[in-house]
Amino acid sequence: MKKTSARLADGREIVYYDLRDDAVRDAVDKRPLGTTATASEIRYDPLLAEWTAVTAHRQERTYHPPADACPLCPTRGTYLSEIPEPDYDVAVFENRFPSFTGGPGPEAADGPYGLLARKPGAGRCEVVCFTSDHEASFASLTAEHARLVLDVWTDRTAELSRFPGVEQVFCFENRGEEIGVTLQHPHGQIYAYPFTTPRTARVLDSLARHASRTGGRNLFDDVLAAELADGRRIVGESRHWVAFVPHAAHWPYEVHLYPRQRVPDLPALSEEARADFPALYLEVLRRFDRVFGPDEPPTPYIAAWHQAPFTLPARGRRPYGAEPGAAESTAREDFALHLELFTIRRTSGKLKFLAGSESGMNVFINDVPPERAAERLREVASERQHTGDLPGTTER
């Protein structure tokens, strides 16, 4: 992998990742762009104990452009895009309309008892263009190209971990208009948050409570072992990864991919696990596109990498000044990197909407039994996998 960093016309960074070591990236962004004005603020919700970002500038972001005006396609001829090069393998650039931007700043606490707390929304948001091919999808990538994207996610996680104020890095892909995607070019995003996300904080609490009541056992390890022992919700396995529908899945079709060897984040993956990942992940994505039948459009989905926050201490250490509490016994090594993939399509032509119970009380109601979802995802395995011709995967 060759990495080349450059600047766009308004000063934002763009980074090219190439499969070939002899790739040359020296194109200049010729667009007459002025400096983008961004102002991100985060406000604290004392009832839920979580932060919310307020970003008025994002109202102006690009919305469903025609294919010949896609800002993620390469620059060709007189068309000038966000990517100055005429072609690329993978390109990453700073989002022009970021939810988080800049460095950390002081917290202001207004109102009685300081209940109205706010501070700058420090961090960084990046766009990851998986391929220059506008008509492609992640599922259509070769295993070599998918491995390149995995290496990009890994490199960006390591790079963003060094940014001042960043506590957690989230790599994800939104795919499909039903999900809310406004650019159809195959791409994902990376958020570098200035706090530990509420979802992760809740998981960390569950980790600590499970360890406390089981004499120090790891919750992630025990969940994976339980799913493997049950077997009914396993979708696919490889030497280093397991794909399964969770026992209490929230979404109609939801698959979690866990490395068999627990690691806290992408940079900690072994070379063997990296090499093993693309075949199984691509197979699962292709099954998602077949699960509702051949006449259905591509399945909308969200693919989300869950990684440990950087503020967690290493085993046996606690950051200076940290308050004692439930998470005190949780180290970075206790968290398990994993990918969660799910769709909001519940059956042919029908979507699952987050209505009163889900949106109002965060209580999910799933119309598709997880065992049936896993069974269906096994039924639509590729012919190559049925004949044992897909390297690195096994079928139950």
Residues carrying an active site annotation: 187
User: Residue 35 corresponds to which tokens in the numbers above?
Assistant: 């400096």
d(CA 236, CA 395) in angstroms, rounded, equals 5
Which residues partner with 4 through β-bridges? 16
Does 73 carry a binding-site annotation? Answer: yes
- Residue that the structure tokens 């992998």 belong to: 1
Confirm if 161 and 99 have CB atoms less than 8 A apart. Answer: no
Does 70 carry a binding-site annotation? Answer: yes
CA atoms within 13 A on the CB side of 59: 5
Name residues whose C-beta falls within 8 Å of residue 205's C-beta, 6 or more positions apart in sequence. 326, 327
Does 134 carry a binding-site annotation? Answer: yes
Does 57 carry a binding-site annotation? Answer: no
Which residues partner with 110 through β-bridges? 116
Report CA dihedral (41, 198, 303, 381) to the nearest 10 degrees. -170
Name residues whose C-beta falls within 8 Å of residue 186's C-beta, 6 or more positions apart in sequence. 129, 130, 131, 133, 134, 136, 137, 138, 175
Considering all CA atoms of the chain, what is the largest pairwise distance in Å, rounded to the nearest integer?
Answer: 67
Enumerate the known binding-site residues for Zn(2+).
70, 73, 134, 185
